[in-house]
């Protein structure tokens, strides 16, 4: 342990580090550091004593351990201003570690940087350049940009290369300054020094990405770039830049990137680089990672520009070879690249399907994830059976974080390409048995709807589900579907004979036992128990001997603590007692449930969980029946109970009953609801939608509804079909002066990739002067950390005439 | 396009070097360090060297007791980044002679100086190993010369 007074000489850096490391506990370490910091602080206050750089270095070490070091900021400023190189060096390092552009103290070093940029010693200049590129604020960049430009033109290679990357930082911070560096960047391409060349290429890439006009101008450099690349690829061994036989792979990859940017969407440029790319693709040694890095960049470039088909095939074949590589990293990036082109070059990627599917069995989680994504993208009508086998196999052993995604991918694939209903049902059951805990809530209604549609398979399905239920009642989604089926098709279950499966005798008690087990199990969720209770009730009209057992179950649950179950039980009790004559009709077989649109299943479009109470506004009539069969019954009873006094007994009730049975057996449940008149009629015809904006994968559609003579409600719906998620998505609107505008809160502010969810926002307009209605909408969002904004003008509104009336 | 950060940490989760190429608050930096370290340290051996965290690709490689870890944007070439990490290790090795973790602990400022001769603003600055070594030698010489000069007793 060391003791310090303000006057003692500073402990050298390494001794302090040793002292800290020898501390045995966190507490001891804190003690040592506190003492050291106190000494350092005291030393800072003293006049120049030759040990200042050591002191600051000690503070920086302490900072790296996670302790506060802000009191060193001013010392950094002082050290940077010192004439001694050793002090400047540590001072600038401290500035880069302790200061950032948000701190006020960073402004104080601007002057020092300015001076040091024109210092006579290049190593001092280099410190200034490095620090500016690391933490230069927009102001500092604006201030010092001309100086950097000067250094880009007239200095030695050592400074030029640093100035080039410094310019890159400046351009990233202040886009408008890009214009300043264009001439210098152009001329740097004729330098021989690799460091300078590399910096120049990076700078040009940045300039082109910022400004499309600049990109046009730099297209003329393609021949020069091709020449430089050729030199690198074909030249002999150059010891200074060689990495495992590749000459300067860093520069090669950067040039390939620039070529990609210049060749994109441009036939001429793409043509002139065709031969070179073919050469690189065939000549680069692929035995080591470094060669593969260059090949990888080449492939990415070929696939992104307008390359001729032969070259494209070559590129995809390289990816195919990568897939067979022993190195996991290579397999991983091969799949990432194939994923990007699976839409455009689907057949080419299909050729490698076998290898991709094998990667599902890889030990590595990252590789598995990529393989899953790609496999799902490759499923088609012709390979659905074999692919599904592999996917189901994968599901049974896949890591937990991938299960939900795998399950939903399998459902989508099954939905699109199912070769038969029985296969579809079998597949969905398999998923529920394997991964029932990871599927989305709407899977249950989706599967039920599917089952009702496959009428000839009802017997088979209920037998299969019954057997699954006997084995395992922990998977809630599976149990819910099984209960529903047993309740609905209990009569088929009890009949025993079924063509598709082995005959097995199920007695009424067996069926009731199964349902009661679910009811009583602590593993069953409240929703599941609701399903089981309703199913038990339904069986009362499908069995003959054990109705009393059902009666007693139902009456027991009349005092259940769970309010939902209690309500159901009480109402079923009532159905047994007061309304026994209606029981048969009420519990009759459900009609076939229609799908609301192709490719969409009920739950997904509304996103409601099974447990939702039907008082929520309905969009279509049918799902209500499915989701809350019990509540349906309850509401029926409520209405009948409430209006008992007004209804004529006898004939009127019979009429209602017969009315019910007619409708229940016949068409969609929407009519049933209409008959009772208890709910709003479903809005079946959607308002006309118009596409107002479509850029970068983001689409905006709008639909309108006239509310009154001057009032109008516009609904804006945004969707994102690109591959990256968007966040902070906001819409702003502006209208002509006399029009009043009120924007309601949007449904959300994030747009996930590939259109998995939409954002809607309502805008209420009032146009009292009946002017020509126009609206300007500004779209803003953040994509991968970068903000983006765009504006679109909407001149015509669907549903209104040309004058906007 | 550039790297977002470079972290060096030990198997026990002790940070040995941190270089940030984008402006982040202290709080954000701590979060990145915590999350990325946890992800990387949890990886089994012989895993793929690439993983995803939020919207960035993390590339890491283990050298003896130290993990070298960097974050990339979506467009970047992961394989080349492995080469960048390897090059940095080679530079450290050349400078310290058979570098080990202790060298980097006791001479952390030198590790930063070497890094600053190799990378700048998240991009590769110098592609020649020799050139970087020469710059470091010259800068060190300059530092010693100045110190000697300053410490010479004045008569």
- The pLDDT score that the predictor gives to residue A607 is 34
Q: What percent of chain A has pLDDT over 70?
A: 85
What rounded mean pLDDT belongs to chain A? 81
For residue A164, pLDDT beyond 60: yes
| Chain-chain contact of A165 with B120 (C-beta, under 8 angstroms) | yes
| CB-CB contact of A408 with A439 (8 Å) | yes
Higher pLDDT: A481 or A642? It is A481
pLDDT, one tens digit per residue, over A210-242 is 999 999 999 999 999 999 999 998 877 788 898
Which of the residues B128, B141, B144, B145 would you substitute to probe the A interface, choosing the one with the greatest number of A C-beta atoms within 10 Å? B128
- The pLDDT score that the predictor gives to residue A49 is 66
Chain B contact for A119 (CB, 8 A cutoff) = no
| Chain-chain contact of A253 with B46 (C-beta, under 8 angstroms) | no
- The pLDDT score that the predictor gives to residue B108 is 93
| CB-CB contact of B128 with B102 (8 Å) | no
For residue A637, pLDDT beyond 90: no
Between residues 241 and 270 of chain A, which touch chain B (CB distance below 8 Å)?
241, 243, 248-251, 253-254, 257
Inter-CA distances, A49 with A13, A43, A55, A701, B146, Å: 16, 9, 11, 71, 15
Which residues lie closer than 8 Å to A198 by C-beta, 6 or more apart? Answer: A161, A250, A251, A254, B124, B125, B126, B127
Q: A424: how many CB neighbours lie within 10 A of its CB?
A: 21
| Burial class of residue B148, CB neighbours in 10 A (0-12, 13-18, 19+) | exposed
Q: What's the rounded mean pLDDT across residues A680-687?
A: 46
- The pLDDT score that the predictor gives to residue B152 is 52
Size of interface A-B (CB pairs under 8 A): 156
Between residues 339 and 398 of chain A, which touch chain B (CB distance below 8 Å)?
364-367
| Chain-chain contact of A205 with B1 (C-beta, under 8 angstroms) | yes
Higher pLDDT: A611 or A793? It is A793
Tokens standing for residue A462: 């209920």
| Chain-chain contact of B131 with A60 (C-beta, under 8 angstroms) | no
Continuous segment of H or E residues that includes residue A785: none
* Three-state SS at A791: strand
Residues A779 and A790: their CA atoms lie apart, in Å, by: 5
Work out the pLDDT band at A501, boundaries 50, 70, 90: low
For residue A644, pLDDT beyond 70: no
Work out the pLDDT band at A696, boundaries 50, 70, 90: confident
Three-state SS string across A380-436, please?
A: CCCCHHHHHHHHHHHHHHCCHHHHHHHHHHHHHHHHHHCCCHHHHHHHHHHHHHHHH
| Chain-chain contact of B50 with A366 (C-beta, under 8 angstroms) | yes
| Chain-chain contact of A93 with B83 (C-beta, under 8 angstroms) | no
Q: Out of A123, A161, A296, name the one closest to residue B139 (CB).
A: A123
* Three-state SS at A8: coil
- The pLDDT score that the predictor gives to residue A500 is 66
| A509-538 CB burial, b ≥16 within 10 A, e <16 | eebbebbbbbbeeeebeebbbbbbbbbbbb
Q: What's the rounded mean pLDDT across residues A22-51?
A: 85
- ipTM given for this complex: 0.94
pLDDT, one tens digit per residue, over A713-732 is 888 888 888 878 888 888 88
Residue of B nearest to A59 (CA): B109
For residue A757, pLDDT beyond 70: yes
Residue among A674, A645, A650, A680 at smallest CA distance from A662: A674
| Chain-chain contact of B77 with A130 (C-beta, under 8 angstroms) | no
Chain B contact for A622 (CB, 8 A cutoff) = no
- The pLDDT score that the predictor gives to residue B149 is 59
- The pLDDT score that the predictor gives to residue A371 is 92
Residue among A173, A166, A169 at smallest CA distance from A127: A166
Which residues lie closer than 8 Å to B92 by C-beta, 6 or more apart? Answer: B99, B103, B104, B111, B114
pLDDT, one tens digit per residue, over A761-771 is 888 888 888 88
Weakly modelled stretches of chain B, pLDDT under 50: 153-155
Tokens standing for residue A209: 């990405």
pTM for the predicted model, two decimal places: 0.70
pLDDT, one tens digit per residue, over A566-617 is 998 999 888 888 888 888 888 888 887 776 644 444 433 333 333 333 333 3
Which of the residues A29, A200, A289, A727 would you substitute to probe the B interface, choosing the one with the greatest number of B C-beta atoms within 10 Å? A289
| CB-CB contact of A108 with A69 (8 Å) | no
Work out the pLDDT band at A44, boundaries 50, 70, 90: confident
Contacts of A328 in chain B (CB under 8 A): 46-48
| Chain-chain contact of A85 with B146 (C-beta, under 8 angstroms) | yes
Contacts of A329 in chain B (CB under 8 A): 48-50, 78-79, 82
- As a whole number of Å, the end-to-end CA separation of chain B is 56
Count the helix, strand and coil residues of chain A and give each as a percent rounded to the nearest 5: 60, 10, 30
Q: Out of B78, B125, B128, name the one closest to residue A162 (CB).
A: B125
Tokens standing for residue A46: 């003293």
| Chain-chain contact of A60 with B150 (C-beta, under 8 angstroms) | no
Distance from CA of A166 to the nearest CA of B (A): 7
Residues A61 and A651: their CA atoms lie apart, in Å, by: 93
Q: Out of B73, B108, B128, name the one closest to residue A195 (CB).
A: B128
């Amino acid at each position: 342990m060391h003791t310090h007074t303000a006057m003692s000489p500073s402990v050298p850096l390494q001794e302090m580090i040793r002292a800290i490391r020898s501390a045995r506990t966190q507490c001891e370490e804190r003690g040592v550091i506190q003492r050291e910091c106190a000494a350092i602080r005291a030393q800072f206050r003293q006049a120049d004593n030759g040990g200042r750089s050591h002191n600051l270095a000690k503070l920086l070490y302490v900072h790296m351990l996670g302790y506060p070091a802000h009191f060193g900021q001013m010392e950094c400023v002082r050290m940077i201003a010192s004439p001694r190189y050793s002090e400047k060096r540590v001072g600038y390092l401290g500035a880069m570690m302790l200061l950032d552009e948000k701190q006020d103290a960073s402004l104080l070093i601007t002057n020092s940087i300015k001076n040091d940029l024109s210092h006579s010693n290049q190593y001092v200049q280099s410190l200034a350049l490095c620090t500016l590129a690391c933490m230069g604020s927009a102001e500092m960049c604006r201030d010092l940009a001309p100086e950097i430009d000067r250094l880009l033109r007239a200095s030695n290679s050592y400074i030029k290369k640093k100035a080039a990357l410094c310019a890159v930082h400046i351009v990233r911070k202040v886009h408008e300054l890009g214009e300043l560096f264009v001439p210098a960047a152009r001329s740097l391409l004729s330098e021989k020094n690799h460091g300078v060349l590399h910096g120049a290429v990076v700078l040009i890439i940045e300039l082109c990405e910022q400004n499309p006009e600049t990109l046009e101008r730099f297209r003329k450099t393609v021949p020069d770039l091709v020449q430089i690349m050729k030199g690198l690829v074909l030249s002999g061994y150059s010891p200074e830049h060689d990495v495992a036989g590749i000459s300067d792979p860093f520069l090669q990859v950067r040039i390939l990137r620039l070529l990609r940017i210049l060749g994109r969407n441009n036939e001429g440029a793409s043509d002139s680089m065709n031969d070179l790319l073919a050469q690189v693709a065939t000549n680069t040694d692929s035995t080591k990672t470094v060669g593969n890095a260059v090949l990888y960049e080449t492939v990415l470039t070929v696939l992104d520009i307008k390359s001729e088909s032969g070259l494209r095939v070559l590129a995809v074949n390289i990816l195919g070879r990568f897939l067979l590589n022993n190195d996991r990293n290579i397999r991983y990036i091969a799949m990432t690249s194939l994923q990007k082109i699976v839409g455009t070059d689907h057949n080419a990627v299909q050729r490698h399907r076998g290898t991709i599917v094998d990667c599902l069995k890889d030990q590595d989680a990252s590789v598995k994830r990529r393989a899953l994504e790609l496999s799902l993208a490759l499923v088609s009508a012709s390979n659905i059976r074999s692919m599904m086998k592999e996917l189901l196999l994968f599901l049974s052993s896949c890591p937990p974080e991938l299960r939900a995604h795998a399950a939903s991918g399998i459902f989508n694939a099954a939905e699109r390409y199912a070769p038969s209903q029985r296969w579809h049902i079998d597949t969905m059951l398999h998923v529920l048995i394997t991964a029932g805990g990871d599927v989305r809530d709407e899977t249950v209604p989706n599967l039920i709807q599917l089952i009702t549609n496959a009428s000839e398979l009802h017997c088979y399905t209920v037998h299969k589900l019954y057997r699954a239920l006997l084995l395992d009642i922990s998977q809630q989604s599976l149990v819910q579907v099984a209960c529903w089926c047993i309740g609905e098709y209990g009569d088929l279950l009890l009949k025993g004979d079924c063509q598709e499966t082995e005959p097995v005798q199920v007695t009424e008690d067996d069926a009731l036992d199964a349902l009661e087990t679910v009811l009583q199990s602590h593993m069953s969720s409240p929703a599941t128990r609701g399903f089981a209770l309703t199913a038990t009730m339904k069986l009362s009209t499908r069995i003959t001997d054990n109705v009393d057992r059902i009666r007693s179950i139902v009456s027991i649950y009349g005092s259940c603590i769970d309010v939902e179950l209690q309500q159901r039980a009480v109402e079923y009790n009532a159905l047994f007692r007061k309304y026994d004559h209606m029981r048969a009709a009420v519990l009759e077989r459900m009609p076939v449930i229609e799908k609301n649109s192709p490719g969409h299943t009920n739950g997904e479009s509304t996103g409601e969980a099974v447990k939702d109470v039907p008082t929520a506004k309905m969009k279509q009539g049918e799902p209500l029946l499915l989701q809350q069969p019990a509540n349906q019954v309850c509401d029926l009873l409520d209405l009948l109970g409430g209006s008992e006094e007004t209804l004529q007994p006898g004939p009127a009730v019979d009429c209602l009953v017969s009315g019910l049975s007619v409708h229940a057996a016949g068409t969609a449940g929407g009519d049933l609801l209409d008959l009772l008149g208890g709910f709003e009629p479903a809005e079946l015809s959607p308002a006309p939608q118009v596409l107002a904006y479509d850029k970068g994968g983001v689409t905006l559609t709008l639909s309108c509804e006239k509310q009154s003579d001057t009032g109008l409600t516009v609904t804006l719906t945004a969707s994102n079909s690109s591959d990256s998620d968007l966040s902070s998505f906001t819409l702003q609107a502006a209208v002509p002066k006399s029009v009043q505008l009120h924007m309601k809160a949007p449904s959300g502010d994030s747009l996930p990739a590939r259109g998995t969810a939409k954002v809607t926002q309502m805008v209420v307009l009032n146009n009292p002067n009946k002017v020509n209605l126009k609206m300007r909408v500004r779209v803003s969002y953040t994509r991968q950390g970068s903000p983006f904004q765009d504006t679109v003008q909407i001149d015509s509104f669907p549903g209104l005439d040309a004058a906007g009336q | 396009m550039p790297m977002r950060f470079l972290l060096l940490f030990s198997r026990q989760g002790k940070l040995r070097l941190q270089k940030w190429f984008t402006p982040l608050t202290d709080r954000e930096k701590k979060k990145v360090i915590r999350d990325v370290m946890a992800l990387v340290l949890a990886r089994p051996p012989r895993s793929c060297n690439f993983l995803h965290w939020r919207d960035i690709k993390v590339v890491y490689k283990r050298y003896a007791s130290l993990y070298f870890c960097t974050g990339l944007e979506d467009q970047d070439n992961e394989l080349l980044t492995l080469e960048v990490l390897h090059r940095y290790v080679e530079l450290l090795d050349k400078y310290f002679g058979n570098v080990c973790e202790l060298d980097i602990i006791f001479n952390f400022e030198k590790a930063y100086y070497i890094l600053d001769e190799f990378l700048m603003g998240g991009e590769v600055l110098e592609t020649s190993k020799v050139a970087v070594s020469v710059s470091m030698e010259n800068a060190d010489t300059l530092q010693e010369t100045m110190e000697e000069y300053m410490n010479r007793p004045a008569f």
